[in-house]
Amino acid sequence: MMIHKILNKISTTIQDIQHSVYLKVCVDNGLKLGKNVVVRNNVSFGSEPFLVEIGDETRIASGVTFVTHSGATTNIRKLDGYDQIRNFGRIKVGKNCAIGSNSVILQDVEIGDNCVLGANSVLSESMLEHTVYAGNPAKYVCEIEDYADVLKRTTINYPKELEKDRKTLNKWLKNNLPEKFKTAK
């Protein structure tokens, strides 16, 4: 068991180093990151990170992909009459946004301030500020306040001082989180 923990720690450390280097390279290539932006591992800013701008306090979950061009144009250019096709676009994410795991954000899209994009979404249209979108293709779900009200109703109460030590918080959750599940529809 101890060898597994050691190997896991080594693997995680290598992934974190790779992520840090990748993020630094993207910033050096023009990626604009606001203050206190959190970018989890395995996020891709594509081959044109200089076309992506992320606002302050935004959180990007693992596996998110920013697509600033259509790769299909290479194939389309092989067709008669389409040799001049080129497709690039900017992506702008506002302040205080949350982008769910494994989402894809396509070119020419702007996400307003205080937005949530659900996990596994494909966003091909812009989002107005204070909105929640989800799905493939991503569509409007609700206003951010409506989503916040749902989260408020389902909040788990635990001693907040446990947040200072994640290991202790995890132990508390394991031992005290009730086994309740959403009902099937």
For 64, phi then psi, to 5°, come to -70, 140
Q: Contact, 163 vs 175, CB < 8 A?
A: no
- Kindly list the structural domains of the chain, giving each domain's residue range(s) and its CATH number in brackets, ordered by start: 2-143 (2.160.10.10)
Please tell me the predicted confidence (pLDDT) of residue 73: 85
Please tell me the predicted confidence (pLDDT) of residue 183: 86
Which neighbouring-strand residues pair with 131? 143
Please tell me the predicted confidence (pLDDT) of residue 108: 96
- How far is it, in rounded angstroms, from Cα 166 to Cα 29? 35
Checking phi first, is residue 115 left (phi over 0); if not, alpha (psi -120 to 50) or beta?
beta
Please tell me the predicted confidence (pLDDT) of residue 72: 86
For 40, phi then psi, to 5°, come to -75, 170
Q: Where are the alpha helices (DSSP H) in 91-179?
A: 144-153, 166-176
Placement of tokens 């009902």 in the chain: 183
Return the number of other C-beta atoms located less than 10 Å from residue 163's C-beta: 10
Please tell me the predicted confidence (pLDDT) of residue 32: 97
pTM above 0.85, yes or no: yes
3-class DSSP string for 67-115: CCECCCHHHHCCCCCCCCCCCECCEEECCCCEECCCCEECCCEEECCCC
User: Collapsing DSSP states into helix, strand and coil, what is residue 33?
Assistant: strand
- How far is it, in rounded angstroms, from Cα 68 to Cα 105? 8
Ranges of residues in the chain with a pLDDT under 70 are none
Dihedral angle of Cα 23, 25, 27, 33, to the nearest 10 degrees: -10
